Amino acid sequence: MGSVLSARIGAQMRPLALLVWSLLLIDRDELKWISLMYQERNYMRAALSVLLAVVLLGVELFAIGGVSANPFGGAVSVHSGPGPKWPVIGELHAGDEVSVSDCVRGWGQHDWCKVSSLGIEGFVHEGALAPSGDHIFVAPVVTGAPVQLRKRPGAGSAVVATIPASVQVHIAHCTHGWLRGWCKVNLDGRTGFVRSESLQRGVAAQ
């Protein structure tokens, strides 16, 4: 009897626990707006604000749930063969030096080069590599033009900062699905989302 009652109470408490968890993750500015509406006894607007904030949070979590194979992602996948359909056997990161033994049809004529680095040997996309003197490195990810860093993945989200062109950013992941084409990046301690099309591989550090 006790276990059945506990299970019923637990089932009833789950929606409340989910709501509390969601409110904890809602942005501080949104909470200030909700609090103001409540103080003005505008309960309907306060309730709608909570609902909207939770929906937006769900959209972000849904988007984050999928990590794409974006070619401008921070890490570079190393494949066992020259193409994205070959199995991934490892990862390299911006700044890793690589030894290139061959590129299919030549350096600039095809997409895939055979490399070895850090005990990994396989193929990477040629666009992810950058020469520096006599050495070749995994190129960093930079902004191709000034781009707005947004709080969430979406053109209507608040702007956190504007990142100038040619600035290196660190990518956590890129989204796919509903909010296709957004990457979560970190720059000097600030985190937000930018359009993936605004990113490109830069030159290797000299």
**Residue ending a domain, choose from 64, 93, 115:** 64
The answer as to whether 105 is a domain residue is yes
Write out the residue range of the structural domain in which residue 131 sits: 75-139
Please tell me which residue, 179 or 99, carries the higher pLDDT value.
99
Residue with tokens 């570079």: 76
Judgement on whether residues 58 and 79 belong to the same structural domain of the protein:
no
174: CB partners within 8 A, 6+ apart: 67, 68, 70, 72, 73, 181, 182, 183, 184, 196
CA atoms within 13 Å, Cβ hemisphere of 39: 6
Give Cα 60 to chain centroid, integer Å.
11
What does each C-alpha distance from 5 to 1, 12, 15, 23, 168 come to in angstroms?
6, 11, 17, 27, 56
**Residue ending a domain, choose from 139, 172, 193:** 139
Residue 64, pLDDT above cutoff 50 = no
Backbone φ and ψ of 98, nearest 5°: -125, 155
The answer as to whether 51 is a domain residue is yes
The answer as to whether 206 is a domain residue is no
Judgement on whether residues 49 and 93 belong to the same structural domain of the protein:
no
**Residue ending a domain, choose from 64, 95, 117:** 64
**pTM for the full predicted model:** 0.53
How many domains is the chain partitioned into structurally? 3
Distance CA(125)–CA(87), nearest Å, equals 14
The answer as to whether 70 is a domain residue is no
pLDDT digits (tens, 9 = 90+) for 152-186: 888 888 999 999 998 888 888 777 544 468 888 88
- Mean pLDDT rounded to a whole number for the chain: 71
